[in-house]
A and B are shown apart, each in its own frame.
Chain A
Amino acid sequence: MKSLWRFLVAGVVLLLARRRREPRLERPEFRAGAGAELVVLGLLGVATLGAVAFAIVYFRGADTQWLGAALGVALAALGAASAVASKRLVLQDKEIEPRPELEDPAAQKELVTTVPEGVGGITRRRLLLAGAFGAVGAVTGAIALPALSLGPAAGGQLTRSPWRRGRRLVTEDGEPLPAEEIAIGTFRTAFPQDADREQIAAAVIVVRVPEDELDLPSDRRDWAPNGILAYSKICTHAGCAVSLFRYPSFAAKSPKPALVCPCHYSTFDVARAAKVLFGPAGRPLPQLPLEVDGQGYLVAAGDFSGRVGPAWWGVRRGRPT
């Protein structure tokens, strides 16, 4: 402890002694206050202690809060020391620096002559230039071409769907989904049996609506047995999973039952073929036609009514394959 004190005193003396020199010409004489020097010294000490504390915490369990606190304090103290030193310890002078001229007309003129001069001896300049552009363009194109190896050509991938007539809907656990389990006011996520669930056209939402409230297009009349409907779970706006179900708790006052995407709040009318009620989505959610098989389980009666997921160039052309 005593030696540490001596060390500190020696440090202060050194700092003070450094100040004793001739004042500069035309500069205000400047002397750092002893108080400021002590403050800086103290801050440097705190920074050192913080760093040491960080090491100790690191080796003794590495508790995140203590690690953060120790290193944070160390850095803050070091930063403060440097800020105080810049304000109170070093010479405070102001200078005027002239701003350099940007433009140099002589250099401009020379450049303008140097550049064409270098190629001035070429007679068939335009032809050669065209040839150079052609060759460099072709070679650049050739070098860029292997970028096409990155992935398959876009078209076919976008329209792939695992849904076929007769394919069972299964739960997250892979169990077939009995039609009678779908209650009004709840919604279930289902997947095609024996297919990759991670593909965008796999997941569907299954909901049930009282049959008298259903308002489907005429060609989809038999797509919803017992009022059970299935829509693609992927929002047609920006591809998020539509994971919110708004269901009226008191039908007379509440808005219609709707599926809502939590990303940008596109809202789809469950009873009316997922028509967009609100929000930025440009298309309804594609509907999956359903049937109930002999054992009472839900199966697909075909593929979706349209393309799944966010829109692209050919999104409204043809049915999914």
Chain B
Amino acid sequence: MGCAEGAADVIRGTVRFLDERLGSSSFLRKTLRYVFPDHWSFMLGEIALYCFVILVATGIYLTLFFRPSLSHTIYHGPYEPLRGHEVTEAYLSTMQLSFGVKAGLLMRQAHHWAANLFLAAIVLHLMRIFFTGAFRKPRDLNMAVGLTMLILAVVEGYAGYSLPDDLLSGMGLAIGYSVVLSLPVVGSWLAPLLWGGNFPGSDAFISRLYILHVLILPLAIALLVSIHLFVVARQKHTQFPGPRRTERNVVGSPLWPAYALRSIGLLVIVAAVVVLLGGLVQINPIWLWGPYHVYDATNGAQPDWYLGWLIGALRLMPPLEIHVFGYTLVPNPFFGGALFPLIVFAILYAWPALERRITGDHARHELLDFPRDVPWRTAFGMGFFTWIWIVFVAGSADQMAVHFEIPYDKQILFFRIAVLVLPVVVFLVTLRVCRELRDTGAHPFRPSASTRVARSE
């Protein structure tokens, strides 16, 4: 009993100490009572946030060993097949980190897995936002913040796996360089500017890539995360319609005590998944790819998944280039590598405004839509994501050619047609299904009320 009183005294003392100096009590009271709606799909953004935290932590560890330098040196390490080969300091230090540093490979692979998970969580979070109409006023601004973070995260991931200067790094950079070079008119100035010369660029390029990866982009993402969360806290969460839930309230669990524990649990579980993957599932074995040389490339190279849609677009694009007065206005890589993502993100950024324009609905929305209740939006979204997904799958056509022995050119032909036809088909089917579900009131996965009654009898 005396112990409990002692604890209460400590709490009271701490609360008063802080309140007298910071005036923090009313803020803390509100924070502890902040209500989180209970729905699993609300965890996706949180998973992305925790991946970012893990990325920063593991990334700092990697910087303690990695040397961003393109100076040449000879490999003498424990990996037999590479001994005596000329490699760069960047590659060498990544090898040393992987083989010579206790827990080094675990950290490296965990970092890489966390990056993949980070992007996956962001994309799923984005789809949740899209299909439930969570982007409607007043959250359209925050959707733009989120989309910007997605772009930064893709670039950040690309910069990260370009650093070790292994064969895949170099191939990815060669493609990235070609895409920048293909930007109409400005490309031929911009690409050598960024790379410090014609590809592979000057030795300073890796320093630029490094500072981009370890400071500029993480800082930008961290800043946007803060804004994103601040806006969420300001506007409070959306919620699905349900008993006692209105446009004017939020129904769910308060932060203290259950949700706080649940969220900490989620952080630790995300960390667990990342560490398990990092320890048990090999990722980016740069010793198998070998060091990069401009004159080297490998078959069946696959980038990290979040770049699959771009490599797919580059592979799908027919050999079209636009020439004006003997000048190549639009080189081919522009279409797949720049125009395609530009269109995708333009649609996503513009969607909240587009939808307002289409529906004429300028009201504030705090209750989410069930996807089937807005058939046309859901159908458009399904068609849109199918479009991207087919391009993404087309990026793996070479792998499928190897594993399933489907001729590569036949696949590309198929995908070129599919990318135009399938989105329309999916749009129409989804529209139909949603209308059906909306009109009958049935749930797609759960047994309907009538069957449930029948079963209990």
Contact = CB atoms under 8 A, between A and B. Distances in A.
A116 B7 contact: yes
* CB-CB nearest 9 A-B residue pairs: A118-B257, A102-B23, A107-B25, A146-B103, A107-B26, A149-B102, A149-B101, A108-B25, A107-B29
Interface in B17-55: 19-23, 25-26, 28-29, 32-33
B102 A146 contact: yes
Interface string A88-113: 00000000000011111001101110
30 contacts: A100-B23, A101-B23, A102-B21, A102-B22, A102-B23, A103-B19, A103-B23, A104-B23, A104-B25, A107-B25, A107-B26, A107-B28, A108-B19, A108-B25, A110-B29, A111-B28, A111-B32, A114-B256, A115-B256, A116-B7, A116-B11, A118-B257, A118-B258, A126-B3, A145-B103, A146-B61, A146-B104, A146-B106, A148-B102, A149-B101
A115 B3 contact: no
Contacts of A145: 103
B15 interface: yes
Interface in A116-146: 116, 118-119, 126, 145-146
B281 interface: no
B114 interface: no
A150 interface: yes
Contacts of B61: 146
A306 B255 CA distance: 62
A313 B25 CA distance: 47
A100 B25 CA distance: 14
A150 B64 contact: yes
Given A101-B23, A102-B22, A111-B15, 6 more contacts: A100-B23, A104-B19, A107-B28, A108-B15, A145-B103, A146-B61
Contacts of A118: 256-258
B144 to A, nearest CB: 30
Contacts, number: 63
Interface string B249-264: 0000000111000000
B32 A115 contact: yes
A146 to B, nearest CB: 4
A114 B19 CA distance: 16
B269 to A, nearest CB: 13
Nearest to A148: B102
Contacts of B72: none
Nearest to B22: A102
Interface in A58-77: none
B3 A119 contact: no
Contacts of A149: 101-104
Contacts of B102: 146, 148-149
B107 interface: yes
B234 interface: no
B16 interface: yes
A101 B29 CA distance: 16
Interface string A146-179: 1011100000000000000000000000000000
B403 interface: no
A148 B64 CA distance: 12
